[in-house]
Structure formats: structure tokens, C-alpha cells
Amino acid sequence: MRARKLAGALGAEVSGIDLSCLSAAEFQQLKKLWMEHLVLFFRDQALTEPQYMSFAERFGEPVEYPLVKGLQGFPKIIEVKKLEHERVNFGGIWHTDTAYLERPPMASMLLAREVPPFGGDTLFANMYLAYEALSEGMKALLSSLKAINSSRKADASKTREDRIRTDGAQQSDFVAEHPVVRRHPETGRKALYVNSGHTLRFAGWTEEESAGLLKYLYELQTRPEFTCRFSWQPGSIALWDNRCAQHNPVNDYHGHRRVMHRITLAGDVPA
């Protein structure tokens, strides 16, 4: 097994491993690498749905995504797809997955089934580094704040319209309040936990009052030096820590098809 860093901020590509038959020692090494790099990437993993689920279950408990129905026979695997005639890509905005739930997922993983001939990369950003870049005064201010997160925030809702129309689940309105700064339950590090896709405002503040500070935080979170970029191939897998990383799929392949299979893993209440 070998791990190659993709960028200074986060991300490592792991090679020399078959995810369909992980040994206990290999899994422990992967877990350590994941805690260190926040997102791991794998190539040439031609996993069947049962093998993909088995790999996910090594890391945690797969859960159903609340807004889109899963695959037939595999309700905890959803298709993240953009078809040839569609112009908007699913989740095409910087965000943390389902921060509008009381217990947002610990992690998400994506397996590329079909990729366009160009484009369709995914960006990732390190929220530890975003928090650590703040001044001591700003850290003190944010330490007592909580944020209201909603599944119906307009910019994110627009990216789901095609999938909700074809594969939507029944309930689509979720709201949750979480600390603006959360401590990772395994590493103990603090991470900035607001995101432009779901955060509406600070608790006890109006949206107008919140807008300026949130805009500053969103811009800070996605500074180039806090990010990495991954280019997909069929059989590529990304596994990211939803507690300390954000992501943004780039929408630059109009007229082409992109189909990914996603699994989310149960998390805890942010604290």
C-alpha cells in the first residue's frame, strides 16, 4: 500500500490495495491515513454494489440519504448523476453533506461508474485549516455561536431539482442547529462548521445580520491553499470526512453523462 499526497492541505491517493478484500491490518492503516489526510482517493476499484457496501461498513454504518431514493435492492446507495440534457449538477456548490440533519453523516464516499470525457472534477477543502487561519478574536466570537442549517436554502436546492424530480424521497424539509466550530470526536481538532450550501444564519441573529460574517467565512473556507482537486476515472473512489472537510463538484461537462454511486455513513451530534 502506498499513499501519495495530492496537495499540501488535504487529500491522498492510495494505491496497491484491493478494497474488495481488505485485511484487518490494511484497514487500520487506511483509517490512520484517513484521519491524517481527511479524504482518501482510490483508482481502479471495480466493486459490485455488495462489495461497495461491505467496504463502507468497515468504516461505519451506512444510512439512507433523506432526499433521494436509493438503488433498487440497495437503498443506502444513491446515484449522483447528471445526464446529457441537464445543465445543473447535483450538489454543485461548496458544502458539507446534510448539515441540516440533527446527526450529519460522519463520512461520505463516492464511486465513479460513468465519467465525462473531460471535466467533472471534485474540489475538497480542509476546515481545520480554515479555523486555524482565524484570529484569536474571531475564534473567541465564533466559539459561542450556533448556526441554523436548512435543506431548503435556495442555491443548494436548485442543484437537486433534477434528481428530486426523478428520484426524490417523500420528505425534503429539514432544519438543524449546530455549533459554528465543532471539535472532531476522533482527532480532537477544531473545524469551522458552516457552509454556503446549507447555513442560513447564526442562531439568535437575523439573516441580514449574519450575511456579512458568513460571507467572510465562506470565502476563507475555500481559499486555494486549503483545497485539493480530484479528477475521476471509472472505478475511482473518494472517501471524505464530513466533519472536517467540504467538497464541490465542478459543473464543466455540459452535454455529457456523469454517474456516481454514493454512500453516507452515520455520524454524531456536532459538538
DSSP 17-63: --GGG--HHHHHHHHHHHHHHSEEEE------HHHHHHHHHHHS-EE
Residues 83 and 245 sit within 8 Å (Cβ to Cβ): no
CA angle 167, 120, 226 (to 5 degrees): 110
What is the widest separation between alpha-carbon atoms in the chain?
52
- What's the CA gap between 126 and 224, in Å, rounded? 10
* Active site amino acids: 95, 97, 247, 262
Cell 436554502 sits at which residue?
153
155: left (phi over 0), alpha (psi -120 to 50) or beta: alpha
Task: Report which of 164, 147, 194 is spatially closest to residue 91, judged by C-alpha positions.
Answer: 164
End-to-end alpha carbon distance in the chain: 34
